[in-house]
Structure 1
Amino acid sequence: ALPNLSQQVASDRVAVTDGAPGHGCGHSGLGTAALGAAIAVKAAMEKHKLPGTIRLYGTPAEETLIGKVYMLLDGQFKDLDACLHWHPASVNNVWVMSSKAAVSVKFSFAGTAAHASGSPSSGRSALDAVEVMNVGVNFMREHIKEDARIHYVITDGGGAPNVVPAKAESWYYVRANSHEDVEKYFAWVCDIAEGAAKMTRTKVKIQIDTDCHEIIGNRPLAELLHRNLTAVGAPKFSDAEKTFARKVQQSLIDEFGSKFPLAIDESIQPLSFADEPNKGSTDVGDISWFVPTSGLRVSCFAADSPGHSWQNVSCIGSTIGEKGTITAAKVLAVSALDLVEKPEVLAAAREDFTKRMESKKYTSLVPKGQKAPTKIR
């Protein structure tokens, strides 16, 4: 869940608990549909005495790109034949596109506390270091590729304005369409951090929380999921649900002048392999570097809703989200059974995977042997 996105199932911004987190990407539906699919597949395999193994993974901390990365580094996906996944969305389609690789990293600066007015010359400001670093990174942006994204928050900026902060911290995401570019830009950002420390006479500690890779697509699995999404059909929504979605969209119309041709998308997008990489990141990407992987997206939100928004939290908790989640479970279940019964599809998926990986080598910025973070802040 995402910070400060607590939201009731309501068409206006109304928190369940002020300041609490909420599922701004609909992740409350992820495990629900996956579990439903696994139960259905298990029942079908037992009823029809189908040989094979279906495995359901619980993967926490997807929003921070942590869960699957550390599970992968621990070898928990190494014996899979194929991996299927899904994500709530405002459209119905198969995830053919790639995603952005990303590194999540914290820069902690240490200085010397002093009275900010009485004896500032005796202090060394860690907050100055954070701000100088941020300025440097912002100038860096002009000279990176268009697909790259660098964003940050200051997680610790000191305790009081009359004390020179002895500690300060910023949390960065460095993203790009390829992990190779992420590695280069991450090294550049680290150089800027070191420079900021020298400029402010402070010291910096760099802590990598996670490092995830872009998704490697798989055509045979994508075609399989698309056939089954088409057979199952996109979720259909009632007039009341569409009216609710329209009310949810109204705040975006009022604030941004957004236009929404649809209340909720009930169509299935054609399967296309020419799509640009998604602007987001997912730790599913790391699995796809080792296992043939594909996924789908199903309408669970009002059409064209922005990601990480309270509007999405509201919709995923409503019957709109429930219908999308059930549809995803059906498609995943049928597709998994196809893989159990049709070894030729698995063979084609493996062949496609092998070709795509011929010139790729998996590397991780996560220090070897590092345990997964138990908390983010």
Structure 2
Amino acid sequence: MQLLGAAGVTGAVMTAEADPAMAASADVTPAGYTAPEGLAQDSPAKDAALGWIASNADRITGLNAEIWENAELSLREWKSSLAEAEFLEKAGFDVTFGTAGFPTAFTATYTYGTGGPALGFSGEYDALPGLSQNKGVGHHDPREYVHDPFAPSYGPGHGCGHSALGTAAAAAAAAVAQAAKKHKLPVTVKFFGSTAEETLIGKTYAVSKGVYAGLDAFLDWHPSTANATGWGSTTAMTAVTFTFLGVAGHGGTPLGNKSALDAAVMMATMSEFLREENLAPSGRLHWVINNGGDIPNVTPEIAEISYYVREGSPARVQVLLDKVIAVSEAAAKASQTTVRHRITSACWNQLPSKSFAELLHENMRQIGPPEFGEDAHRLAKELQESLGLPQKGMHDAIGDLTAPNPVFLGGGSTDVADISWNVPTVSMGAALAPIGTKLHTWSTAACAAAAPGQAAVVAAAKYLAATAVDLLTQPARLKAVKDEFAERTKGVSWKTALPDGYEPPMYEPPQWFLEKTGQKWPPRNITWPPRKVVSQEKFSSLGPDLAPQK
């Protein structure tokens, strides 16, 4: 508890009262835990689902490659969302675009019979800026190099593997639908094509609008450097952008100008001083200056700096966020600029499901690790050599199922977390990137649609599909998952961490996309066109003119 910065909070009851979100996600597994066996069972329906994936492997890996080639950024996944939707339409799903008002979000639904459970699958397909990389190349070799003599850069790339993420989830959903139809298992399969996961916008807002209501279980996966699942939590997070407004002027005659960039730099510097005394091991604070001016001889009139503020629960995020906001106000005062901030996204920490993870893990163990060939290991070792890492290749085993660390030490965030407080949710990782590397890198983009990623996407689809079929053929497994969910959420009332009046950021789609998906612009949940951000600041006074020297 002291490591979490919760000095004075020593009892479980007091913890639940002070922070119910952390208490609900805490683990109480006794020492010596051993994963149970006999949960995942063979069945004709499971064989049918796995067989469908095997017989459609070329289509599945082809979809992954197509989305990888598109490499579209958050909120602008025009071609990628269409490709994924068309894949599911061919599998018999009904597709509706514009989920929660997002143009590139869609919901695909397949129903067989009546009275069956509703199972959800999570699909993402956005790339990351600056991570362009040629497929299968073991050294840094951007596929898209943007020439600028003053600011060279790289194009976007799938450095988090979302091309594979959405593809495997779609393949699993299609496989479950085909198996249910063949073996007459009542079910509703829902696939949620989600936009902007990299900015944690798509699902958090959609959950607040009830998009995931009515589901009995939700299955999620993410590319990783290992093949594993578990029931640990994630960090809650708020993304916030600060805009400083000053007065432009010639850099050679700067007196009286007000530099918004000075304010952003001061804020960045001061926020670093929060780390020693205000940032617990469970917290993360990172920032980037989005806009700092264009040329040195024009004092920047507008500057923006964006922060991701992470902690173990929404309540803890808010405490840290308030301190960051106070820093912004101090920077504005010192620089004589004005500052405003807007929250672009906010999510909870993930609610774990031990019973769900146990079922998924046994399916992973029975199916086995991804089938990495020599090409996959060769590329992995080339990347590891290029990055100065031990040349261990790909992770070709299923990781043991172990209890999470009893002391939460922070980490990444996911907008799936908000779903997990509303629907029993399981997550797992399949090895798409080499051992020892990290996601959000060009090296992951090199693998995502090359040999490592193509093996991972097929394996991940099998893990998800097999687990979903067990929920259909073994009602006791689904009941255990739902019972644990009910127990964990006792006394916790989920409420979106997004502020009142929140409008999600969006880009206007091209006309061809609107026509293709049957949408109109703008959606009713945003103000369009957005309000302009224009500085109205005045030059700084230097006081009365000095008297001429005599």
- The answer to whether the superposition gives a TM-score over 0.5 is yes
CA shift for structure 1 position 161: 1.8
SS at match of 1:75: coil
Q: How far, CA to CA, are the matches of 2:395 and 2:299 in structure 1?
A: 53
Of 260, 267, 271, 2:397 maps to: 267
CA shift for structure 1 position 22: 0.7
SS at match of 1:128: helix
Answer yes or no: is 1:334 the counterpart of 2:466: yes
CA shift for structure 1 position 251: 1.1
Q: How far, CA to CA, are the matches of 1:247 and 1:273 in structure 2?
A: 34
CA shift for structure 1 position 96: 2.1
Instruction: Map 1:199-210 to 2 at 5 A.
Output: 199-210=334-345
Of 243, 246, 269, 2:381 maps to: 246
SS at match of 1:294: strand
Contact 2:129 2:156 in 1 (8 A): yes
Answer yes or no: is 1:370 the counterpart of 2:502: yes
Q: How far, CA to CA, are the matches of 1:295 and 1:360 in structure 2?
A: 21
CA shift for structure 1 position 278: 5.9
SS at match of 1:121: coil
SS at match of 1:234: coil
Of 251, 256, 259, 1:125 maps to: 259
Contact 1:98 1:277 in 2 (8 A): no
Contact 1:97 1:277 in 2 (8 A): no
Q: How far, CA to CA, are the matches of 1:365 and 1:188 in structure 2?
A: 17
Answer yes or no: is 1:137 the counterpart of 2:263: no
Answer yes or no: is 1:23 the counterpart of 2:150: no
In the other structure, the counterpart of 2:49 is none
Could you list the per-position Cα deviations for residues 329-348 of structure 1 after superposition, in whole angstroms to 9, with x for gaps in the alignment? 01111111111222222221
Could you list the per-position Cα deviations for residues 31-85 of structure 1 after superposition, in whole angstroms to 9, with x for gaps in the alignment? 1001111111111111111112111110111111111111111110121111111
CA shift for structure 1 position 359: 4.2
Q: How far, CA to CA, are the matches of 1:178 and 1:222 in structure 2?
A: 21
Contact 2:251 2:299 in 1 (8 A): yes
Which deviates more from structure 2 when the two are superposed, residues 233-242 or residues 304-313? 233-242
Could you list the per-position Cα deviations for residues 196-244 of structure 1 after superposition, in whole angstroms to 9, with x for gaps in the alignment? 1122221111011100111110011111101111111111322232122
Instruction: Map 1:264-343 to 2 at 5 A.
Output: 264-275=394-405, 279-343=411-475
Runs of 4+ in 1 over 4 A off after TM superposition: none
CA shift for structure 1 position 177: 2.1
Answer yes or no: is 1:42 the counterpart of 2:172: no
Contact 2:375 2:451 in 1 (8 A): no
In the other structure, the counterpart of 2:476 is 344
CA shift for structure 1 position 265: 0.9
Contact 1:113 1:163 in 2 (8 A): yes
Answer yes or no: is 1:7 the counterpart of 2:133: yes
Of 154, 170, 193, 1:58 maps to: 193
Q: How far, CA to CA, are the matches of 2:370 and 2:387 in structure 1?
A: 24
Amino acid at match of 2:398: I
In the other structure, the counterpart of 1:354 is 486
Amino acid at match of 1:74: K
In the other structure, the counterpart of 2:301 is 166
Amino acid at match of 2:194: T
In the other structure, the counterpart of 1:115 is 250
Contact 2:433 2:439 in 1 (8 A): no
Q: How far, CA to CA, are the matches of 1:203 and 1:362 in structure 2?
A: 35
Contact 1:152 1:171 in 2 (8 A): yes
Which deviates more from structure 2 when the two are superposed, residues 155-164 or residues 223-232? 155-164
SS at match of 1:335: helix
SS at match of 1:172: strand
CA shift for structure 1 position 168: 0.6
Q: How far, CA to CA, are the matches of 1:365 and 1:154 in structure 2?
A: 24
CA shift for structure 1 position 184: 0.7
Answer yes or no: is 1:93 the counterpart of 2:228: yes
Q: How far, CA to CA, are the matches of 1:137 and 1:328 in structure 2?
A: 40
Q: How far, CA to CA, are the matches of 2:430 and 2:156 in structure 1?
A: 23
Over 3 Å counting, the alpha-carbon distance change for 1:72 and 1:141 in structure 2 is same
CA shift for structure 1 position 277: 5.8
SS at match of 1:159: coil
SS at match of 2:433: coil
Contact 2:243 2:339 in 1 (8 A): yes
SS at match of 2:192: coil
Count, aligned residues: 370
Structure whose alpha-carbon radius of gyration is higher = 2
SS at match of 1:123: coil
Question: What RMSD in Å do the two structures reach over aligned CA positions?
Answer: 1.7
Amino acid at match of 1:49: K
CA shift for structure 1 position 279: 1.4
In the other structure, the counterpart of 2:310 is 175
Q: How far, CA to CA, are the matches of 1:185 and 1:74 in structure 2?
A: 27
Give TM-score scaled by structure 1 length: 0.94
Q: How far, CA to CA, are the matches of 1:213 and 1:12 in structure 2?
A: 37
CA shift for structure 1 position 351: 1.7
Which deviates more from structure 2 when the two are superposed, residues 121-130 or residues 222-231? 121-130
SS at match of 2:255: helix
Q: How far, CA to CA, are the matches of 1:301 and 1:122 in structure 2?
A: 52
SS at match of 1:142: helix
Q: How far, CA to CA, are the matches of 1:174 and 1:168 in structure 2?
A: 19
Q: How far, CA to CA, are the matches of 1:22 and 1:357 in structure 2?
A: 38
SS at match of 1:207: strand
Q: How far, CA to CA, are the matches of 2:330 and 2:364 in structure 1?
A: 52
Amino acid at match of 2:255: S
CA shift for structure 1 position 189: 0.5
Q: Which has the higher contact order (CA 8 A, sep 6+)?
A: 1
Could you list the per-position Cα deviations for residues 246-298 of structure 1 after superposition, in whole angstroms to 9, with x for gaps in the alignment? 11111111xxxx334x2111111111122456611111111111111111111
Amino acid at match of 1:259: P
